[in-house]
Amino acid sequence: MKLIMAVVQDKDSNRLIDALGENQFKTTKLSTTGGFLKEGNTTLMIGCEDEHVDDGLEIIRDNCSQREQLVSPVSPMGGNADSYIPRPVNVEVGGATVFIVPVDAFHQF
């Protein structure tokens, strides 16, 4: 048995959860916050048998799109803010970061 942990953007989470449910994947949703953009995202915990991992990954790949987003940099702390001119920067966001870990035991009470 494996545990798939997928960190996805909030914009993709409902579509992904629906697609996983349609394919009989049981999912636990955790609301999380990313460290770089400081924006909300969703971490999904998906338990499945080893032979279904590839199917789960395909569903994640099909439902989590990458896109560009303009981000304004944070002003430097302790520095001279008078000479700081923030210029928005395009960064790639979205997609999914996925971890697959083995499960030694599973209990449901």
- Decide which of 9 and 74 is more confident: 9
- The pLDDT value recorded for residue 102 is 97
Residue type, 80: N
pLDDT in tens, 49-85: 999 999 999 999 999 977 676 666 665 555 555 555 5
Question: Can you spell out the DSSP letters for 33-65?
Answer: E-SSS--EEEEEEEEE-GGGHHHHHHHHHHH--
User: What's the chain's average pLDDT?
Assistant: 84
CA distances 27 to 6, 18, 43, 86, Å, are 10, 10, 10, 40
Locate 38 and state its tokens.
Answer: 């400081």
Indicate the pLDDT class of residue 33, thresholds 50, 70 and 90: confident
pTM of the model: 0.75
- Going by DSSP bridges, is the β-strand pair 66-71/40-48 parallel, antiparallel, or unpaired? unpaired
41: Cβ contacts below 8 Å, ≥ 6 apart: 7, 8, 9, 10, 13, 32, 33, 34
At 88-107, the pLDDT tens digits run 776 666 689 999 999 999 89
Nearest to 22, CA basis, from 63, 65, 50? 63
Structural domains in the chain plus CATH codes: 2-73+86-102 (3.30.70.120)
